[in-house]
Amino acid sequence: MIEGVRVKTLRVIPDERGRLMEILRNDDEHFQQFGQVYATTTYPDVVKAWHYHKIQTDNVTVVQGMLKLVLYDPREGSPTKGEVNEFFIGVHNPLLVQIPPHVYHGWMCISEQEAIAINIPTAAYNREKPDEYRLHPHENDIPYTWARKDG
């Protein structure tokens, strides 16, 4: 596991009225601070990658569909420099993945329907000076290919 990444298995509590799933609480061991909450969608087979933040920590989960979430650690001095982590998160595997600053991340929708991801970053989005540093999703030096692995 990449240094600083935390994963929390989310519990879905169903009853005759529907379901409840707590995502992040301020008394969770890995809670840092609140910045904002937003939802983003990804259509089937679309890749949204790569980017990292210098300041904020992301807390990502998926509430509809499935995503292949991939992280890459380029950090000099990190004990996990060069490591890639792959998570399959969504309705069939409800997880919260905490992504520390300077770790590249991105995802691909692997469900047949649009995936809805919720992110709870530790800082609000700054429209004038975004804390976002991007690479091309396919043409870069990250040792990862988004192709499906059959077999």
Note the pLDDT of residue 47: 98
H/E run at residue 14: strand 12-15
Q: What is the spatial distance between Cα 109 and Cα 90, in angstroms, rounded to a whole number? A: 10
Note the pLDDT of residue 66: 98
Q: Considering the domain 6-134, what is its CATH architecture?
A: Sandwich (2.60)
Q: With a cut of 50, list the residues of the chain below it in pLDDT.
A: none
Place of tokens 């530790």: 122
DSSP state of 77: T
Cβ–Cβ under 8 Å, residues 33 and 121 = no
pLDDT digits (tens, 9 = 90+) for 75-103: 999 999 999 999 999 999 999 999 999 99
Note the pLDDT of residue 149: 86
Note the pLDDT of residue 43: 98
Note the pLDDT of residue 72: 98
Q: What is the pTM of this model?
A: 0.94
Domains of the chain, by residue range, sit at 6-134
